Amino acid sequence: MGMTIAEKILAAHSGQAAVVSGQLIECATDWVLCHEITTPAALRMLEERGMDRVFDPEKIVAVPDHSVPAMNIKAAKMYQKLKSWVQEKGIRHFYDVGRGGIAHVVLENTGLIRPGQTLVSGDSHTCNAGALGCFATGVGSTDLAGAIYAGKVWFKVPETMLIRVTGQMQPGVTPKDLVLEVIKRIGADGANYLVMEWVGDTIDRMDMEGRFTLTNMAIEAGGKTGIVAVDDTTRAYMAERGVTPDQYTEYTSDPDAQYKVVIDLDASAVEPTVAYPHIPSNGRVAGSDRIAVTHAYVGSCTNGRIGDLRDVARILRGRRVADGVQMIVVPATQAIWKQAAQEGLLEVFVEAGASVSYPSCGACLGMHSGVLGPDDVCISSSNRNFVGRMGDPTAQIYLASPATVAASAVAGYISDPRAYNADGTEAAD
């Protein structure tokens, strides 16, 4: 019987010729990604059991990102715990504050994680890395502890959902709109414990940044992970990071692979989509209602990349954020921050009246740097709009593409970014 990419990777990492969905396997982890929120709990578990060791310090990547630079003493202690462990165990791949950013985006850029590999982390958006054709998934602290200790985790082999996207996206429509549309169709539990495998000519033409946005959001549909097969775009991306095809394994799904469900999507029919409160599946067309916003947030592991910042700058250049709107832009990593500075994008944001913050998870989960107050209304390029996600439980969060966030910040209410041309001029009606 044919196998999917995910099944092939899991078979290779559990020492078997083939696996079938539903099978329980012990899977070797090529990489374990650690941040300061969930890793300390895993470390304590190991310490309490006298199992305080790491399977391989070279295979662990540590990036403090959620609550850095620390905003209170508790956060400072979490950071200290991660850092002292890293120092004690000789973990070299440590991206400290000032050298890192959001862990998922730091990792995707390092060239460390490669196609065909496995990655686990105690963070639900670990699925992000699946765009590189690897199997990457979030695990709980106990499994994280096991992975740190032994380099292995237990999985039930997931079934796969095939998402076939064809056609040209309209100008102003982005991969974020595509994934919000898919989640709207299938529901926030529509891909429960499934691998979401993206194929089709729209995906073939998409750059790596867009693919990361797609796989990043798999968890918002309940997915175990997202995955995109390796192609020339992936190979070029790896080559830019000094990694050649002989250094990784490319897997493709067999023509007779078994899919639990197949979704067909015409990309040309997708419109700029906004997920209304309080669930990412609550998508509607941007601008279909006049919703005034108090906050506009650009950042997160979903949409804080350089292409996202360029999309925002295109709309903000020569314009002002509307009075009464607080706009915050958070480049996802230090490298993206620097690139944005070099391209003059940060200046565009500041000139427009937006605040540019340091690379971190920032306001995405309401821990710091932009926490929402009662009844605030935020349009955000992040991935979750649950009650209380960014602060007060009465605040309203609308999820959208960076372009939609920018267009809304300028207007003061949620707006369709197709009001602007690709060169930033206003589109004729």
Separation of alpha carbons 267 and 175, rounded Å:
10
| Tokens standing for residue 386 | 């649950």
Closest Cα partner for 4 from 187, 206, 163?
Answer: 163
Q: Is 361 annotated as a binding residue?
A: yes
Separation of alpha carbons 61 and 69, rounded Å:
19
Long-range contacts of 307-311 (CB under 8 A, 24+ apart): 307/207, 307/209, 307/210, 308/209, 308/381, 308/402, 309/336, 309/340, 309/345, 309/402, 310/343, 310/345, 311/174, 311/401, 311/402, 311/403, 311/406
Shortest Å distance, C-beta 38 to ligand IPM: 5
**124 binds ligand IPM, rule: CB under 6 A:** yes
**123 binds ligand IPM, rule: CB under 6 A:** yes
| Tokens standing for residue 274 | 């906004």
Phi-psi region of 31 (alpha: psi -120 to 50; beta: other; left: phi over 0): beta
Which residue type sits at 342? Q
Q: What does DSSP assign to residue 34?
A: E
Indicate the residue among 74 and 205 with the shorter CB distance to ligand IPM: 74
Separation of alpha carbons 181 and 287, rounded Å:
15
Closest Cα partner for 27 from 192, 150, 114?
Answer: 150
Site string for ligand IPM, 347-386 (x = CB under 6 A): ------------------x---------------------
Q: Which residue is nearest to ligand IPM (CB)?
A: 124
Taking CB under 6 A as the binding criterion, the range among 16-24, 50-58, 117-125, 317-325 that sits at the site for ligand IPM is 117-125
Q: Which of ligand IPM, ligand SF4, none sits in contact with 300, Cβ below 5 to 8 A by type?
A: ligand SF4
End-to-end CA distance of the chain: 54
Shortest Å distance, C-beta 278 to ligand IPM: 14
Shortest Å distance, C-beta 139 to ligand SF4: 14
| Tokens standing for residue 125 | 């958006």
Q: Judged by CB under 6 A, which of 6, 11, 37, 329 binds ligand IPM? A: 37
Separation of alpha carbons 421 and 62, rounded Å:
40
Closest Cα partner for 307 from 180, 166, 182, 422?
Answer: 422
Taking CB under 6 A as the binding criterion, the range among 119-127, 164-172, 290-298, 401-409 that sits at the site for ligand IPM is 119-127
Q: Which of ligand IPM, ligand SF4, none sits in contact with 202, Cβ below 5 to 8 A by type?
A: none
Q: Which of ligand IPM, ligand SF4, none sits in contact with 382, Cβ below 5 to 8 A by type?
A: ligand SF4
Q: Which of ligand SF4, ligand IPM, none sits in contact with 37, Cβ below 5 to 8 A by type?
A: ligand IPM
Which residue type sits at 155? F
Shortest Å distance, C-beta 117 to ligand IPM: 20
Q: Which of ligand SF4, ligand IPM, none sits in contact with 10, Cβ below 5 to 8 A by type?
A: none
Collapsing DSSP states into helix, strand and coil, what is residue 31? Answer: strand
Taking CB under 6 A as the binding criterion, the range among 118-126, 209-217, 312-320, 338-346 that sits at the site for ligand IPM is 118-126
Q: Which of ligand IPM, ligand SF4, none sits in contact with 265, Cβ below 5 to 8 A by type?
A: none
Number of residues that bind ligand IPM (CB under 6 A): 8
> Footprint of ligand SF4 on this chain (CB under 6 A)?
66, 102, 104, 123, 125, 300-301, 361, 364-365, 382-383
Site string for ligand IPM, 52-81 (x = CB under 6 A): --------------x---------------
CA 134 vs. chain centroid, Å, equals 15
Q: What does DSSP assign to residue 246?
A: G
Shortest Å distance, C-beta 49 to ligand SF4: 28
Q: Which of ligand IPM, ligand SF4, none sits in contact with 199, Cβ below 5 to 8 A by type?
A: none
Shortest Å distance, C-beta 138 to ligand IPM: 6
Indicate the residue among 102 and 208 with the shorter CB distance to ligand IPM: 102
Closest Cα partner for 248 from 238, 240, 256?
Answer: 238
Shortest Å distance, C-beta 384 to ligand SF4: 6
Torsion from C-alpha of 37, 42, 48, 49, nearest 10 degrees: 180
Collapsing DSSP states into helix, strand and coil, what is residue 429? Answer: coil
Q: Could you tell me which residues are annotated as the binding site for [4Fe-4S] cluster?
A: 301, 361, 364
Instruction: Tell me which residues touch ligand IPM (CB under 6 A).
Output: 37-38, 66, 123-125, 138, 365
